[in-house]
Structure 1
């Protein structure tokens, strides 16, 4: 029997053992170290602090406190050149409309503090569309400002003792579902053009639209947060780094109606023109589920480019997709140097999906010949049970997605083996994949360096000798 046959038999026999190891106690990859996240430092305590109650706020869940938040932050601006300041939100339910943060500010929530987004759309101001999108994401023209907003800032912290920020998004979801929106729905938190953003130890609930949206930001650290929204809530993405660099996301639980973490960089001709990529994105230790989205996604708005994405120790359950890359003719841009490893999937409909025909364009001015370039995508060490389809990998005719490398992937799929992978217009390599990957990837590279891996990781070695060596273990 050839090396490939031995490899697949051995992979199948290890399947149950590996799943048990992955779900009881620490999984076999628990010792993997961080990459970008190690470079982040925690912020020092602010030398000055005030409570929102000092500005007349009432935590009864009924009184509108927008002016109190605005006045408190205006006052604290005088300390921005003196080490910054903290705005403390004590226990209570603090109803508010949109308010904007300032540089060198910590917004800190007590354990039993709940910031509630107003359910009156007039308390969420209208603001300009993002230049990399050219219009609101849902409707032409302007859009609603997020509940917590900021732009052109430095050194901003949103943290606490696991207090809650609740967008009360049901009114927005209803307007979306019955087509009564006048402007694109607001995010829960959006920071623009900000350097040094830390978000930690907070629960975010019921966002009207995307939950946390750092856009045009640098040095973003998100850790130890929980994001919750009903599984049928529309487009309630968890964390959306967008045209941002040096982003670390780790130790989060996310359960929403759409993608848990999705990396973006602008939409069609507007993203191409704005030309601000997302790069150096680190994602570690994420647990969650999504009824309609993916655990880890890129796109579909990626026209400014996405590169250097490293994700590891991911557990996705009861979800539509595990790992997904979405793009389309007209997007332009690129997705390259993506490394995803150490993933557990439980009851997921599609384990891996890459599609080049994910439509939707901002207007009719996009260039259909602006084709995206998708290459250097490595996905390895993926274990799944209750999987509907192992993978759908669909490039674009005349624009094949290349250097797609799959290794050490063991999936218990419900589809027939000969239909568990569906591939077109893709090129790449695979080894130790069960069920067997699709024909365009069923070759053994002579040189494993064709598969992308971070500098401090071992690239998958899929030579024929490796097959025989692994099969004999």
Structure 2
């Protein structure tokens, strides 16, 4: 399969260090990422009265940043110690540097924060300003070997189903309130009230920011937001216990995120590790993420607002990174209405994530996701799907709770429009997965199938193998799916131009492949031992046996 790469002639210098890509995968011809540089002048926060006792709250970090900026920039040093602070605003030309052993605790007093008009989950919103915030800045960094703690437990609600009975009892007895069903805990009555208001955080014309004050506790701050910034770097630091999203570069460019650790509780809702939203030119490498929502996440706005903004996330290298607990290891969507393109991800390890590679969108989003190349991904103990493409994402936890239906929904065609999402030209190579519910799930829409997806050289152990619904021009080559013997290895529904080449599977499988749906066409099975299964093919009603052609070994 050949992909269009007209962009390669115009985007400048070759981005080096991509030897891990397969020999026949296109090499990235991306712009060089511009990195910040700083004056050597260093100001210690101790000079501004900070005390390292963890109890004395001060504005010393902010004072030092402001003073450094006025002097032309430089390094603001946070020495070893336990420092209590309110929220911080970055300034251009300043590197906030945490020494080894520095522990910065953000205040748990919500009055220390203030509401602003911003963007969150891809729409205009009102939220508490991020704990580390910057807008319209250039040449900024947060570096070092210290730790930021966001006191997120004072902001986040918690579902009872996410905790053990002992943990739930301890949480409720510690304060806060529960909802009427007694199945969700909230840190305050204002937080609970906000949860009952549909689209509570959306910016609504005719209102002022002050109108949102009564539910301020519900409008949790992100830990770090850098909005419309250029040449930014995050390096070496640990960010933990975030109230909401952890690291959120927004409409920014020339981004370097290196050797960063993000730690949030597994039950922490909306605690994504990193959300690159409508950003351009960057690298994420050498990081470790263990969070309560998505790990590495690519976004570009939601629905009409995202399409109107029209700014894709593009030209990124993501490599040499580990993700533990997360809803998804590497994720694109679901707020991807501005599109995503030219993203190269390789040398990734996912351990215990709900889903490994996760591509999600929904009707109404619109947007085009294309030219995505993924290579060398190793996964273990994936709870749901190792690889999933889902254009019918229903905004729910990826792993059903006990009693919830796991049956796929019935999808009826709708007219094409600007809100129809598209995923195409995606190349995935050299994958291993030791344990998952489903190895590969592809689900497009009747009016807009998934298109032009390659998955090559994979060994995957899962209960189910391939589920392919509403897709076109899909190629699996040299893919091993070790599944339960009682289930079909591959299910193809209403899909066409499907090539399955060199498929290996558990000997004695009850059924190799089932093909259903009156729009199923041109399914090719090649270089595959069909005799190792008890039954090779099964067809649904209205599906001709000529739909499948088998090339002998």
TM-score with structure 2 setting the length: 0.68
Residue 467 of structure 1 and its aligned partner are, at CA, apart by: 9.1
SS of residue matched to 1:74: helix
Task: Say if 1:246 and 1:113 are closer, same or farther in 2 by CA, change over 3 A.
Answer: same
Correspondence for 2:69: 77
Equivalent residue number for residue 371 of structure 1 = 420
8 Å contact from structure 1 (residues 401, 426) kept in 2: yes
1:434 aligns with one of 465, 480, 490 = 480
Superposed, which structure 2 residues align to 1:12-411 within 5 Å? Answer: 39-40=32-33, 43-44=36-37, 46-65=39-58, 67-80=59-72, 84-130=73-119, 133-136=122-125, 142-160=126-144, 162-174=145-157, 177-178=185-186, 180=192, 181=194, 182=215, 183-291=218-326, 293-349=327-383, 350-359=385-394, 370-411=419-460
The 10-residue stretch of structure 1 (253-262 or 385-394) with the greater mean CA deviation from structure 2: 385-394
Q: Which residue of 1 aligns with 2:534?
A: none
Change in Cα spacing, 1:228 to 1:38, as seen in structure 2 (3 Å) is farther
Sort the Cα spacing of 1:129 and 1:177 in 2 relative to 1 into closer, same or farther, 3 A: farther
Counterpart CA distance in 1 for 2:364 and 2:129 is 28
Aligned-partner SS, 2:124: coil
Distance 2:269 2:275 in 1: 15
How far, CA to CA, are the matches of 1:406 and 1:31 in structure 2?
12
Q: Could you say which residue in structure 1 is the equivalent of 2:181?
A: none
Considering only CA atoms, is the larger Rg found in Structure 1 or Structure 2? 2
Distance in 2 (alpha carbons) for counterparts of 1:86 and 1:31: 41
**Alignment partner, residue 23 of structure 1:** none
Measure how far apart 1:129 and its partner are.
Answer: 2.6
Helix, strand or coil for the counterpart of 1:302? Answer: coil
Query: Are the equivalent residues in 1 in contact too, given 2:36–2:232 (CA < 8 A)?
Result: no
Contact 1:131 1:274 in 2 (8 A): no
- Counterparts of 1:201 and 1:31, CA distance in 2: 29
* Residue pair 2:370, 2:424 contacting (<8 A) in 1 also: yes
Structure 1 distance, partners of 2:317, 2:441, is 25
Which one has more relative contact order, counting CA pairs under 8 Å at least 6 apart? Answer: 1
Q: 1:40, CA displacement in angstroms?
A: 4.4
Shift of 1:155: 0.6
Displaced runs of 4 or more, over 4 A: 28-38, 40-45, 463-468
Conservation of the 8 A alpha-carbon contact between 1:430 and 1:437: no
CA contact 1:52–1:88 (8 Å) conserved in 2: yes
Change in Cα spacing, 1:465 to 1:134, as seen in structure 2 (3 Å) is closer
The CA deviation string for residues 35-59 of structure 1, in whole angstroms up to 9 with x for no partner, is: 6899446654523110111111122
What RMSD in Å do the two structures reach over aligned CA positions? 2.9
Contact 2:36 2:231 in 1 (8 A): no
TM-score normalised by structure 1 residue count: 0.79
C-alpha distance in 2 between matches for 1:396 and 1:348 = 25
Q: Distance in 1 between matches of 2:322 and 2:30?
A: 17
For 1:467 and 1:309, the matched residues in 2 are separated by: 32
Determine the structure 2 residue equivalent to 1:460.
none
Deviations 1:64-112 (A, max 9, x none): 12x32222222122233xxx21110011111111121111110000101
2:499 is the counterpart of 1:443: yes
Deviations 1:278-309 (A, max 9, x none): 10121001112125x11000011001111111
Partners in 1 of 2:29 and 2:364 — Cα distance? 32
| Greater displacement, 42-51 / 230-239 | 42-51
What CA deviation, in whole Å up to 9, does each residue of 1:172-225 have, x standing for no partner? 113884352424311111100111001101111111111100000000000011
Output the CA distance in 1 between the equivalents of 2:308 and 2:94: 33
